[in-house]
A = this chain, B = another copy of it.
Amino acid sequence: GDGKLKRSLVIISTLDGRISALDPENHGRKQWDLDVGSGTLVSSSLSKPEVFGNKMIIPSLDGALFQWDRDRESMEAVPFTVESLLESSYRLREDTVLVGGKSLTTYGLGAYSGKLRYICSAVGCSRWDENEPEPEDVLLLQRTQKTVRAVGPRSGNEKWNFSVGHFELKFVPEVQPGVNFLEGDLKGGGVKRDDPKVIREEEEATAETKDTVIKVSVADWKVMAFTKRGGHLEWEHQFCTPIASAWLVRDGKVIPISLFDDTSYTTRSDEILEDEEDIVEAARGATESSVYLGMFRGQLYLQSSVRISEKFPTK
């Protein structure tokens, strides 16, 4: 009912590919939890030091590649992305073939039940639970995943690979009535980029409920709520894997939660082995403070709320 429609949710995407929903007005209690079964958001063999000697290639979650020179302790953007590497008119050395792809998949689910209604991807759509007893607001989770593998053309032996992805979250507005012609969709009047005002409006919105401000600590894998008055910790939720994205869904709007208000990057020692931790600390010294360099199951990755490539020099 109406009460339900006004409930807020904190939606969290973690690097293992899962999505969780917390109830911010009930001490951060878990409302629902979803595993879409499509694997981790980041994986790579590039970040293994033995692969390329003293150079280390680190992917960011939005698909850019960075090169860390351990001798010079510098971090530089590599001027290529998944898309450009996969262009067939480009090629690397004669003895390297690139394969991979980019996929865009949408999951439609009930906002408050977390119940999956459908999955639509390149291979088709599957739907469930169509006989809903009562209608429920729908959340759209859109996952983009980009993958490249370099292989030897004769043997098919893989040399290196990386795959990066992220989720976007949308709250579905009421369906507009009207004709449904492709021409109308595709011609100038109907096709446009997102209205920047809307974007700016979203950027200005704060991740707050009535009484609390929602924060995320990427280094501690935690979501926390602080009271607006007095600023003490009201509740926190510990995740078991790193947080990739976070949103507050409130009053039918999706408000991104900034991941970088917290500048203290303590490393969870129980998940990162000692030799890996040394690597993380050394590489982190080469990054800027507002860019987070993490390690997830042995994979280095970069994470930021702005376009990372705009912040680094290109050699």
Contacts and interface: CB of A to CB of B under 8 A. Distances in A.
B102 A86 contact: yes
* Count of chain copies: 2
A105 interface: yes
Interface string A180-196: 11111111001111100
Nearest to A108: B156
Interface in A212-267: none
B101 A155 contact: no
Contacts of A93: 176, 180, 184-185, 190
* Interface size grouping (class) on chain A: 35 or more
A140 B97 contact: yes
B154 A120 contact: no
A198 B170 CA distance: 48
A40 to B, nearest CB: 13
A218 B120 CA distance: 34
Contacts of A51: 182
The binding surface of chain A is classed by DSSP as strand
Contact of A99 (B55, B121, B126): B121
Contacts of A28: none
Interface string A30-58: 00000000000000001000011101010
Contact of A55 (B101, B144, B183): B183
A173 B98 CA distance: 16
Contact of A90 (B79, B153, B163, B193): B193
B52 A118 contact: no
B106 A125 contact: no
A170 B91 CA distance: 13
Contacts of A57: 182
Nearest to A179: B53
Interface of A: 46, 51-53, 55, 57, 65, 67, 78-80, 83, 86, 88-106, 108, 117-122, 124-127, 130, 138, 140, 142, 144, 147, 149-160, 163, 168, 170, 172-173, 175-176, 180-187, 190-194, 315
For the complex of A and B, 5 pairs with smallest distance between CB atoms: A118-B156, A101-B103, A101-B122, A122-B147, A92-B185
